[in-house]
Amino acid sequence: MLSVFYPRCYLKYFINLVIRKKTITVAFSISQVSQDGFDIIVLKDNNGTEVQVVPAHGALLHAFKVQYNGSPLNVIDSYKDRADLQADLTRSFKNIKLSPFACRMTDRRYNWNGQTYTIAKSDIHGLLYDVPFELVQQAANDASAAINLQYTYRAEDAGYPFNYDCLVEYRLLPDNQLAVTTTLENHSHVAIPVMDGWHPYFSTGGSIDALELQFAATHLVEFNEKLLPTGQLLPYNTFAAKRNLTGVELDNSFLRDLSISGPAAILHDPAKKLSIEFYPDASYPVLQVYTPPHRRSIAVENLSGAPDAFNNKIGLVQLAPGESKTFSTTYKIRL
């Protein structure tokens, strides 16, 4: 049909365009390196965008790099080496998987099905922040590079005597996008409580006082002096438009406005003309934002529930025996 309507020269030009288009298709790869005491899995595209993951330490997101002015820029504030991680992990919990609960829990205790449980390991950020995840699958093609990591939890803490699997997928996509998906599967004979979250710290290389933050929220979760929810939800829209972070101190949870399309949050560097956009799905209705005292980075966390969800039930998920639930978010670096 083409030969009827187009001269042969145009047909040849069309074919050349198709061939030329194939030659510029983004290609993805996966490799493994040992560096600074870490065994790292590297997801990369041929434009220089790179994601580094350390499975052995809570499925740690070690780097998310893009090419900026001809050099790699890592927007993740990670650990310098293994010694740095070991010294700091339980103070900052940077860039790790939060499961089966996130943030603080009142006195490490909660009641479930008429029984009171006391967590032994930690009253903050769950039980998997330092466990070794196993690489169970990997694949790279012209569309993406992805790895699947798994931790099999089997009643290791007396305060959480249940069995579940935590499966984490990191997928590097075109246009500087990283999709992070977690699936929790209940392998107990009873229903179990779960709350899922991430704890990434972001930086563009300088003080966060030079950055602007924007997010769509309906309410602020009111905290007491121990940074635990009081039960009150306060109307909130302070960051509905971009706001400079100079002097702003945050360690708060916000209920997202799920009616808003587009990114749920934007962290913008006006000097570099670079933005980090956050696209959590409805499984993460809570946004936690923390500005550490050093102000070299900012934690922007996607959570399935509010802090102390095992007690206040805000966003708490119940999984029946054999049931699973998936939680997803995507980060996009826009240059």
Whole-number average pLDDT of the chain: 93
- Tens-place pLDDT, residues 81-103: 999 999 999 999 999 999 999 99
CATH number, residue 66: 2.70.98.10
Please say if the pLDDT value at position 21 is more than 50.
Answer: no
Higher pLDDT, 250 or 7: 250
The band of 195, judged by pLDDT with boundaries at 50, 70 and 90, is: very high
Residue 253 within a domain: yes
Q: For residue 76, is pLDDT > 60?
A: yes
Q: Classify residue 46: in a domain, yes or no.
A: yes
- Residue 212 scores a pLDDT above 50: yes
| Least confident range of 16-20, 223-227, 254-258, 279-283 | 16-20
Q: Containing domain of residue 91, as a range?
A: 28-334
| Residue 140 placed within a domain | yes
Q: Which residue has the higher pLDDT, 20 or 121?
A: 121
Ramachandran category for residue 69: left, alpha or beta (phi over 0 → left; psi -120 to 50 → alpha): left
Residue 16 included in any domain = no
| Count of structural domains within the chain | 1
Please report the pLDDT score of residue 10 as a whole number.
Answer: 39
Percent of the chain with pLDDT strictly greater than 70: 93
Mean pLDDT of 170-195: 98
Instruction: Report whether pLDDT(1) > 60.
Output: no
Domain assignment present for residue 12? The answer is no
So what's the pLDDT on residue 3?
A: 39
Specify if 74 maps to a domain: yes
Provide the pLDDT for residue 104.
96
Residue 11 has pLDDT above 70, yes or no: no
Is residue 2 domain-resident?
Answer: no
The model's pLDDT over 252-300, given as tens digits with 9 standing for 90+, comes to 999 999 999 999 999 999 999 999 999 999 999 999 999 999 999 999 9
Share of the chain above pLDDT 90, in %: 91
Q: What is the pTM of this model?
A: 0.91
pLDDT of amino acid 15: 35
pLDDT in the model for residue 24: 54
| 134-140 vs 243-244, strand pairing mode | unpaired
**pLDDT value at position 26?**
79
Kindly state whether residue 20 falls inside one of the protein's structural domains. no
